[in-house]
Each structure stands twice: as C-alpha cells, then as structure tokens.
Copies of this chain bind each other. A is one copy, B any other.
Amino acid sequence: MSEQVGSRLDPWVDSYAQRAQGLTASAIRALFAVASRPEVVSLAGGMPYVQALDTEIFADIAARVIREQGTTALQYGSGQGDVVLREQILDIAAEVGVKSHADDVIITVGSQMGLDLVTKVFCDPGDTVLVESPSYVGALGVFRSFQCNVVHVEMDDQGLNPDALKHALATHRNVKMIYTIPSFHNPAGLTQSQQRRDEILAIAQENGVLVLEDDPYSLLGFEGEIPQAIRARDDHGVIYLGSFSKIIASGLRVGYVIAPHGAREKIVLAAESATLCPSNFSQLTISRYLAEQPWREQIKTFREIYQDRRDSLLESMQALMPAGTTWTIPSGGFYSWVTLPAGLDATNMLPRAISELVAYVPGTGFYADGQGAQSLRLSYCYPDPERIREGVRRLASVIEKEIDLIATFGVSSPNPTAPTTFNPFTNLG
C-alpha cells in the first residue's frame, strides 16, 4: 500500500465504515490479559465449568458421529441448521413453555450470532433498542456495531421495570426492540416473576414492539420451578434466543433462534450470508448427546455446582464486604451485581484489584452510556468455592483500602475511558 493514503500505522484509517467506529477495544482488555494468570482469582469471566462434563462421553460421541455420519458431519449443511437437532431443540424449549415448530428454529454459532442476525435484520442506524440497566455487554456491542440508539431502562428487584419501560416507549421514537434477559440476568443476577413477564409482554404488544428474549440460563435455576419464557405466551411478538453453551458445552458453539414465522426466512438468509451454515460436526455431536445421554441429569449436576458456588459467594460477601457494599442475590445463573459504597469507582479500582490478585468486570461495561461506575459484576460459575472465598476476601480488602483512600484524599479520580467492547467469556478462569 502506498504511503500517501492514510497513516503509516494504518493506511486504511480513513476507509472504515461508520459503524466500525463502534468497534473499539476496551481499555480493560489489557488488564484482563494480566488477569488470566493462574494466581489471579477471576470473578470476571462467564466461562461455564465444563470440567463437570464427562469428556469420555463426548469423545465417544464425536468419534461415532464421524464414523457413522462422516460424509454429513464433514460436509456443508443447511443454512438453517440440522433438522433433527431443530426438532430436539423443541424439547428443550418446551422446558420453558415454548411451543414452536422446527421450521421456526434457526441454529446459530452460539446465541451471540442470533443477537447479531436479529439486529442486522431489524435495526437501521439510529433505531432505538431498549435494554435493561445494566445489560449484557455482548449485546450492547452488537447494537453499537449496527449503530443503534441504545436506551437503558431501569430495573428493580425483579428486573425490567414496567413503568420505566412504558416511559421509555413513550419518550423514544423508532423503538425496534425490547432486549431482555428475564431469567438469571447477566450481569444483574435478577429474575422476572411470571406476573412481571406478562406485564412486559403486554406493554410490548400494546406498543407493537418486538421483544428479543435472551435466555441462556433459564435451566440453571437453584430453587422452585423453571421460569417460563416470555415467548411461551406469544409466538408472534417475541424472538427467543437459546444456547447450548451453558447447559452442554460452549466450545461447540451451538445456539438457536426461535423466530416469529414471518421473520424466520430473513433471519435464515442473514445466517447464510454470515456463515453459509453452522458446523454439522458440532450440531451432530450435540444432537447425538441429546438423543443418547440423560442431559437433564447433566444440567442438574451443573445446577448443584453453581448453587454451591453461589452460596460460597454470598456467604463470603456477607461475612467480609465493608459496610455500604450491596449485591443482588441470584436464584440461578452465573452472576451477582455488586454496588460499591458511595464515591468508589469500579473501573478505577480494577488495576488495584488485579495487583491484589482478584479480577471482576467493572459495571460501565454493561452500559452503553457511561453509567455503572459504582458497580461491578462477580461471576461464581468457574472458580471452586474455596477460590471464590479467597477472591471475595481479596476484593473486600481492596474495597476497604479504597474507602480509606477516599476518606484521606477525597473522591476517587474520574473514570478513565469507559470500557467499550470485550469478550465477556474469554479465558478468565
């Protein structure tokens, strides 16, 4: 490339699409590279504890998939995904009350791809997406990459607040979607009651706005009934995103969209444009696992492991966190949302936490608008209970020192560049 064009560092600096302005690396990315050292207790990543899987079972299944269905497993497949697996997905969706048809299921490369496709199909630049406050960082990245106007809607202890939702719908134009994680919310750790779900759906219906329901955690609840999806009450008004990443194995990269029938074709066409087709190798491995193995038992094992870790997190926070620190009490899933005492800034505090060998994700990552400085997300899914206690001990000590610092020198310095994009599931064991 001749050097007349662009800068020496990047000759294409003037050539990027406008939407690429939303694709900027986070200042905290570099910190996380440090945080992946084994001596750091990471309460940051959202990696499922795949060590609980019996690898011998998967090794055997993968081998038989290739021996017995090799010319399918190693070949291109359908853009919409394997039809047998789409039928099996209906059984899993039935657990959360969703009744659908395999025609309306689209298999994706993780549910992240579902987010990307739905946004691509529905959202023009400037269109508004209503999201929870806070919301999933990976979704915010997608919305930003398609130049959406992201508006955060307040939550209460049941998640998305109906009055705040009504207000947001009344005060914003071109609202294309309400993006919600009703069960065991990432990062807030909250769950909508059935009544709350019905209220939210009614509001969406009254306003003719699509609900995009992201539901990777609903089978990972610790108590009571499995929460029923919003999609269970409305096939036409809700796009449902599901995933095998948390209930089987994230490394296979298999998720799914259950779409209103009319939107289904456009999403399939967008999927073909994005990747031609999902991997038959991964799909057939999952399909055979579902057909042959007691997958509900495996999910039960995961639930028990995560509940044990959740208990460890909550007990140690209760015992160790300085006064003024508050947190949500998750009844399932992977996360608790912690709010620091007034004056503390979780982004500023992160380098000190990492030097004390504990990592978390600062709250600003879960907002599109710079909110969240006083909060952070803790994940209890990956480290064992003893490590979690040790991590909380370290974090509590960092917070205490931070409180002392502020008492001595006044408020914490202003938030540096807010984190923008990062992979929430990278190797942050």
Contacts and interface: CB of A to CB of B under 8 A. Distances in A.
Interface residues of A, number: 100
Nearest to A70: B55
Interface in A277-296: 277-282, 285
Nearest to A382: B75
A27 interface: no
A49 to B, nearest CB: 9
A154 interface: no
A98 interface: no
A176 B15 contact: yes
B421 A272 contact: yes
A294 to B, nearest CB: 18
Given A11-B260, A16-B121, A266-B23, A425 B276 contact: yes
Contacts of A339: none
A109 to B, nearest CB: 4
A176 to B, nearest CB: 6
A93 B75 CA distance: 23
A419 B59 CA distance: 43
Interface stretch (A122-130, A300-308, A328-336): A122-130
Contact of A272 (B10, B12, B73, B423): B423
A26 to B, nearest CB: 9
A427 B266 contact: no
Contacts of A11: 208, 236-237, 260, 262
Contacts of A121: 16-17, 20, 23
A249 B71 CA distance: 10
Given A121-B17, A282-B282, A425 B277 contact: yes
Given A15-B176, A260-B10, A279-B109, A427 B78 contact: yes
Contacts of A319: none
A74 B277 contact: no
Interface string A51-93: 1010110111011111100111111111100000000000000
Nearest to A263: B12
B62 A75 contact: no
A423 B79 contact: yes
Given A234-B1, A253-B278, A275-B113, A20 B266 contact: yes
Contact of A275 (B1, B110, B123, B281): B110
A142 interface: yes
Given A47-B75, A50-B70, A265-B25, A270 B5 contact: no
Contact of A23 (B2, B60, B269): B269
A415 interface: no
A263 B67 CA distance: 41
A391 B249 CA distance: 44
A9 B262 CA distance: 6
Contacts of A48: 75
